[in-house]
Amino acid sequence: MRESGHPVVRVTSVRKRYNHQWALDGIDLVVERGELYGVIGPDGSGKSSLLKAIAGVQTFDGGYIEVCGLPLASEREAERIKPKVGFLPQGLGASLYQELSVEENIDCFADLRSVPPDVLAERKAWLLHVTRLERFRDRSTKHLSGGMKQKLGLICALIHEPELVILDEPTTGIDPVSRQDLWSMLSALLHEKGMTALVSTSYMDEAERFHRLSFLSNGKVLIAGTPEAVRTSVMGSVAAFETTAPADAVARLRQTFEQVETAGRSVRVFVGIGDREEARRSVEAVAGDLIGSPIAVEEPELEDVVVSLLARSRGEEQPPEVTGRGAPSDREEEAMQANGLTKDFGNFRAVDGVSFRVRQGEVFGLLGANGAGKTTVIKMLTGLLAPTTGTGVVAGVDMKTAARSIRERIGYVSQAFSLYLDLTVAENIRFFAGIYGLDRQTAVARGREIVVMAGLSGHESSLAGRLPMGLRQRLALGCALVHAPRVLFLDEPTAGVDPLGRRRFWDFLGMLARERGVAILVTTHHLNEAERCDRLALMDAGRIVAEGTPEELKREVRKEAGILFEVVVDQPSRAVACLQQSGFPNVSLYGATVRLLCGNPDDDLSRLRRELADGGIQVRSMRERSLSLEDVFVYRIKTLDRQARSSGRPVSA
């Protein structure tokens, strides 16, 4: 609970310059004790610079910062606040010692923070359990997946239970189940230990949990307040309908409306009209005969509002038409196949008999918890890692015997990127164009197109190493596309990218697949993105445990587990814990709401009201919701984990 009194953080007119550009330009912010305060905004808006300055790890050029009652006017004063602060910087495992094991890293940070051994043992056991890292205690940090490194970094930032915890995009690269676990852990620390948290995020469902937030753009606070106040700052409605021709519907609607997105046959339109009936009529007038179902109109979500604010503040160019070599490929032509791929690392089996097919022009999503084996599958198919057993064919060549031929026909964006950080944006693009043998004229034309597509206009002369993570990821994608490949591998390409950037990125991927016939294999933890895949495979513990179209996967869960309900309560984290302890198996936290699957709604919802009332938790509303892929993912992984625990098998991390 928030307490009145002296603020934990006070920021007044803070400015920070990099060369000739202001990263922070007069920032004001106050964080009260016990508050969960959020900082959101596009890539390069100043979020990381602000959090680093408050954490005392980066200087600033003007203004005033006070943390835990202590001013930060010098390096000596900054050192005084560090015992009171836990800081997790942006970047997977950026604060960790890569050569140490998981447990050695935790012990090292605990020793630096003078955590007593008896307290450390209990605290470490709980944090390892919550983050699902118990069975990886002895694994070297450099051999962890990106998401596992992020969870370990969070443990190390929290091990001394600081008065203030500062987390810069802590859940980037972490699967939805682990995100829920981490937010539950953070909520418990705030409520039970009286901690205060300052958190930046690119997930707008997470932003719904903040008590208050500041939206940054170009180094300034564009808007601040509660999530509800930000949500209602932009007038509008969201209209959604089904269609048999989504591409035609999008093309027609975008002539009138800026925000139009698709997921399978569903089309979703943000309309700048508050009156729902008027919004429905305006969409109907434009889409006309392409509408295949009644139009549903609802209030916009926070992400819709943020995208609208971003579009206004950035004026970013729309992606150009895709150009490249050759004509679109036959959608029935096979682009890649995996046949029984298995990979062992010593006694650890990372991938266990994985098989699937992907056609040209198809977007295939590979989903799974951290450590499920997704990245290892990609590395085998791209020829970067030899399989223990199994075979694969990519772009018509065998992955085992033709690694060079494969690389000439594919594009690959890894979690760690493959850029030269001491080269500029333009130099990186030219370098990769040269590697792939493009002539000068083609390289120049492709370079211009990629700069616009990636939203890098104005950054051509910037060093890649100085770009914010989101811009760096877009540059990596551009470099992977410079030779117009037939097959594209993307390993969590939008981790840390703001909502507008993600939507435009996926618009571009859709264009590549539909118009140029590029086959795309993508991993993502943004499961609203996975809705835009043609087919999906869900991995757990190295195996594929479910496969199909997004609608097929949802239909299977509805058949097994029942109807999804969303419950709005006054204490969502406590409500989830209460319901889980009361025997509800399929309960999860989504933003500031509780979601659960009910096989017998009448009985289940009556019992839910009784259990929450007995726990002193107020139910404000309940409503039935359509299943999302995130609901499917959480259900499948938690079910598999329960089965694994009951049989004594290892669970996912």
For 513-559, the pLDDT digits (tens) are 888 888 999 998 888 889 889 999 999 989 999 999 999 999 999 99
Distance between alpha carbon 229 and the CA centroid of its chain, in Å?
Answer: 24
**Rounded Cα gap, residues 247 and 620, in angstroms:** 39
Contact 473, 526 (CB under 8 A): no
For residue 231 the two structure tokens come to 């949500």
pLDDT band at 402; cut points 50, 70, 90: low
Strand partners, 271: 237
**Rounded Cα gap, residues 353 and 32, in angstroms:** 52
Q: What is the CATH number of domain 551-647?
A: 3.30.70.100
For 353-397, the pLDDT digits (tens) are 999 999 999 999 999 988 889 999 999 998 889 999 999 999 888
For 455-485, the pLDDT digits (tens) are 788 889 988 887 776 677 778 888 888 888 8
**Rounded Cα gap, residues 356 and 381, in angstroms:** 12
Whether residue 565 has pLDDT greater than 70: yes
* pLDDT at residue 71 in the model: 92
**Rounded Cα gap, residues 431 and 479, in angstroms:** 9
The CATH class that applies to domain 9-230 reads alpha beta
Whether residue 601 has pLDDT greater than 80: yes
Distance between alpha carbon 186 and the CA centroid of its chain, in Å?
Answer: 18
* pLDDT at residue 323 in the model: 40
Please say whether the structural domain 334-548 has been given the CATH code 3.40.50.300: yes
Q: Calculate the alpha carbon distances from 144 to 362, 370, 520, 523, 653 in Å.
A: 30, 9, 25, 17, 10
- Cβ within 8 Å of residue 355, ≥6 positions away: 337, 338, 339, 340, 341, 544
The mean pLDDT value for 327-342 works out to: 77
Of the candidate ranges 73-77, 113-117, 146-150, 315-319, the one whose mean pLDDT is the lowest: 315-319
* pLDDT at residue 316 in the model: 47
Whether residue 129 has pLDDT greater than 70: yes
The mean pLDDT value for 193-209 works out to: 88
* pLDDT at residue 315 in the model: 54
pLDDT band at 79; cut points 50, 70, 90: confident
Interior/surface letters 393-406, b for 16+ CB within 10 angstroms, e for the rest: bbbebebeebeebb
The mean pLDDT value for 438-450 works out to: 87
Q: Are strands 9-18 and 563-569 parallel, antiparallel or unpaired?
A: unpaired
Strand partners, 165: 86, 197
* pLDDT at residue 50 in the model: 95
Residue in the structure block whose two tokens are 């400015």: 15
Torsion of CA 469, 473, 475, 476, to 10 degrees: 130
Of the candidate ranges 299-313, 361-375, 575-589, the one whose mean pLDDT is the lowest: 299-313
Of the candidate ranges 28-37, 312-321, 400-409, 474-483, the one whose mean pLDDT is the lowest: 312-321
* pLDDT at residue 638 in the model: 85
Q: How many CB atoms lie within 10 A of CB 354?
A: 26
Q: Assign 495 to helix, strand or coil.
A: coil
Domains 235-299 and 334-548 share a fold: no
Strand partners, 582: none
DSSP one-letter code for 618: -
Domain at 235-299, CATH from 3.30.1950, 3.30.360, 3.30.70, 1.10.287: 3.30.70
* pLDDT at residue 469 in the model: 65
335-344, 414-423, 507-516, 630-639 — which one is most confidently predicted on average?
335-344
* pLDDT at residue 464 in the model: 87
- The phi-psi region of residue 55 (left if phi > 0; otherwise alpha if psi is between -120 and 50; otherwise beta) is alpha
Predicted TM-score of the model (pTM) = 0.82
Whether residue 649 has pLDDT greater than 70: no
What percentage of residues in the chain have a pLDDT greater than 70? 93
- The phi-psi region of residue 234 (left if phi > 0; otherwise alpha if psi is between -120 and 50; otherwise beta) is beta
* pLDDT at residue 2 in the model: 45
Whether residue 255 has pLDDT greater than 70: yes
